[in-house]
Amino acid sequence: MTGLMRLTRLLNRLLVFVGGVFLVGMIVLTCANIASRTVWQPIRGTFEMMGYFGAVVTALALAYTQLNRGHIAVNVLIHRFSKKTQRRLNAFNNTVCTVFFTMVAWQVGLKAHSFMKTGEVSETLRVIFYPFTYLVAAGCAVMALVFLTDLVQAVRTRNGAAK
């Protein structure tokens, strides 16, 4: 296993742990809100926090899911091509996805920085939300790293290097 792969797996474990903490927070908040509604006092800002927590959970789970091949892949046409063409298409796909998620991470990070500099807060609870935005950027950055790792492995395998 290469150093890049070890780094990718380590970062994924960290992000999945943090995402799990936010998921537990979503569950607790939902249950507390349901319980409080029975006495006609819903928790203020639940909808807002669920949106932020949901974005974080989703973004932090992307790379882990890709690393474990948990996404749906449609390969109807790919299997009709030769192995060489399949490898080239796979390398092309990994390259495009690496560039795309790098750009997304960069732009979301810039937006988070802008939120931080301006001191922007949420409407209902008036909480700062740039930390959530930075976490989404981190999730996209690690997703780009997973695609880069896949690309490196595909190239090494094609050139006869060990997996």
Total count of domains within the chain? 1
List the one residue out of 46, 150, 33, 135 whose CA is nearest residue 96. 150
Q: Give the number of other CB atoms < 10 A from CB of residue 61.
A: 19
Residue that is written with structure tokens 């950027």 in the block: 137
Is residue 33 in some structural domain? yes
Is residue 111 in some structural domain? yes
For position 161, what pLDDT does the model report? Answer: 54
Does 32 have pLDDT greater than 50? yes
Is residue 107 in some structural domain? yes
Is residue 163 in some structural domain? no
More confident residue, 74 or 40: 40
Torsion of CA 4, 5, 9, 11, to 10 degrees: 10
Domain membership of residue 143 as a residue range: 3-158
- Cα distance between residue 130 and residue 117, in whole Å: 9
Does 163 have pLDDT greater than 60? no
Q: Determine the average pLDDT of the residues in 49-73.
A: 92
Does 7 have pLDDT greater than 90? yes
Is residue 129 in some structural domain? yes
**Residue 84, token pair as written in the block:** 């060489």
| Longest distance between any two alpha carbons in the chain, whole Å | 67
Residue that is written with structure tokens 């909808």 in the block: 47
Does 160 have pLDDT greater than 80? no
- Cα distance between residue 14 and residue 19, in whole Å: 9
Q: Give the number of other CB atoms < 10 A from CB of residue 134.
A: 18
> What is each CA distance from 13 to 93, 134, 155, in whole angstroms?
24, 18, 25
Give the rounded percent of residues in the chain with a pLDDT score beyond 70.
96
